[in-house]
Amino acid sequence: MGVLESARADARGLIAKLTLEQKVGQLFMLAFGGKDLTYAKELVQERFISGFYISQDNADTVSEAQKLTQSLQDAAGSANHDLPLIFGVDQEGAWGVAVSETTTGPGNLALGAADDTSLTREIYGIYAREMMACGYNVILSPCSDININPDNPIIGTRSFGEDRDRVARHVKAAVEGALNNNIVCCGKHFPGHGDTSEDSHRLLPTVDRSLPYLLDQDLVPFQAAIDAGLPMIMTSHINFPQIDPDFPATLSSKIMRDLLRKKMGFQGVVVTDSMNMWGMRKNYDPAESAILALKAGCDIVMLSEEHYEHDATNYAAKQKATIDGVIKAVETGDLALNVIEDALERIFCLRIQLTINAERSEQGVQDIATEKHRNIADLASEKAIRVVRDRDNLLSLKGKVNVVGLSGADAHEMVVNTRGIGPNDPRAAFDVLCDELLKSSECSGSGVATDAGQDIQILSELELQHYLAGESCFSAEDIVVAVTEDYPLPGMDYDVDFQKERLDRLVQITKGKMVVCALRSDYELRSHPDLSTYVAAYSSRACAAQAMARFIIKAIRGEAS
């Protein structure tokens, strides 16, 4: 008997011992708010759920993560769970957990820009080792979407790029890096979220593409991941009317069974994107959507802690009502017992693999954010930087250089305070860039005197406001280096409009003869055809900001390319 057949036999034996309530409970991966584990333990011990979606709300630090996961695994053991719980985290680069202590790297878009699959493989190996050291055993990544629509508000830097084949190469490398380092990874958002102009955290987008088109574009990275042994796939809450005119992907058997299972050959676990996202909640009752998802071929119903109404008072009741609704559907025959038992077999095989991974993994806190890990992240960040445009050869940066941040003094606050998932970097990328500039040469007043004899002046927010108002604070020969940022936030938008207004004004004042250093994607360049010089880091992570600062110093020294 092979390993997979043995795991399936073990899974079937475990399933046979369960009551209906225990079977249904283990179809769910749920979440809880804050750090009090009382309710989480209740879900494990009384509702028998398979695992949790964990966010920064639940654990800010590595130490907290280790205590959380161990406490909940102990609770599962005391309730006679035969297999370890799933702890899924959005460790994907542009999003992350415990980001002040772990190595996020610059994120997927930067890795795609660097286009070195060995680096992508190493970065995802780092994610695996560091998350396992935290007690997290599933990373809900890599994002396998292609940036087909540049106006997409939620994918952006989470994708490896806009070229199908490049994305596929890096998705494959990411899967290999994760699996080779003993963690379960999850491709998302099937069958593709890159061709939307709407965020499914808020709406139910529509992608009006044919199946042949999807097979030729969006699905290529997913097929590469499946061929590399991807154990888990996350759905998307998106309508694909040319494939299924009646249901969004998560609830569509035509997409989940006919396309994913039969045509593409995926045999692993299918987990829904959070059923608590507005795109789903606005259109379906929670129990109804869970039942439809299971009928369609999903294995795990996931509800993450989404505070779009900033009111979680009824969240626990909704979770329990959803589980009860599925139990009732099985009891009445609306949902066939064999459907959930087939799903459980796949879930239990995955959780058996978690046991094997834990035995193989010997990661500890000493393996988190090591010098080696930081060096790899720095190398990836530096290789990602691209000179997208330099019409007037301004990158020699001869003369006084005035560095300005366009986001505004309080713009970054929402990134760290609004939600438990997402960027969560404690400091704005622009501030990190400035600190790195100040470290790179001797400080002279509020600027930096460089070895080349030029001067880098970092303008304050007040000085920038005066300059934008037409009050000149430097000469026409000075070079303006404007820094832009963006952060992919679920359910809301970073204030890029304010940033764009300021950039428009700077382009007007300088007649386009200025340098933009983008700590984000380069899609904003479409709105500024008159801009002379544009350099992109494809990331707002701290390591990317530091790499951009080093690029600026090299440009002043005549070493940039």
Question: Which residues are catalytic, by number?
Answer: 201, 273
What is the side-by-side strand order in the sheet with 479-485? Answer: 386-390, 533-536, 515-519, 479-485, 401-405, 455-458, 447-449, 442-444
3-class secondary structure, 388: strand
Residue 147 near residue 110 (C-beta atoms within 8 A): no
**Helix, strand, coil distribution of the chain in percent, nearest 5:** 45, 10, 40
Q: What are phi and psi of 89, to 5 degrees?
A: -135, 150
The overall longest dimension of the chain from CA atoms, in Å, is 80
Residue 372 CA neighbour count, 13 Å, CB half: 9
DSSP 3-state of 360: helix
| Backbone angles phi and psi of 145, in degrees to 5 | -80, 150
Collapse the DSSP code of 412 into the 3-class scheme (helix H, G, I; strand E, B; otherwise coil) and give the result. Answer: coil
Q: Which amino acid is at 548?
A: M
Q: Which two tokens mark 75?
A: 């609770």
Q: Which of 298, 167, 157 is nearest to 225 (CA)?
A: 167
Question: Which tokens belong to 11?
Answer: 């899974």
- Between CA 28 and CA 36 the distance in angstroms is 20
Q: Which long-range contacts (CB under 8 A, 24 or more apart) does 54-57 make?
A: 54/87, 54/88, 54/89, 54/97, 54/136, 55/31, 55/89, 55/90, 55/97, 55/304, 55/305, 55/419, 55/420, 55/421, 56/97, 56/98, 56/99, 56/420, 56/421, 56/424, 57/33, 57/305, 57/419, 57/420
CA-to-CA distance for 403 and 379, rounded, in angstroms?
Answer: 24
**Residue 86 and residue 50: Cα distance in Å, rounded?**
6
Query: Which helix H or strand E contains 556, and what residues bound it?
Result: helix 542-556
Virtual CA dihedral for 352, 355, 360, 362, nearest 10 degrees?
160
Cα–Cα dist 514/531, whole Å: 7
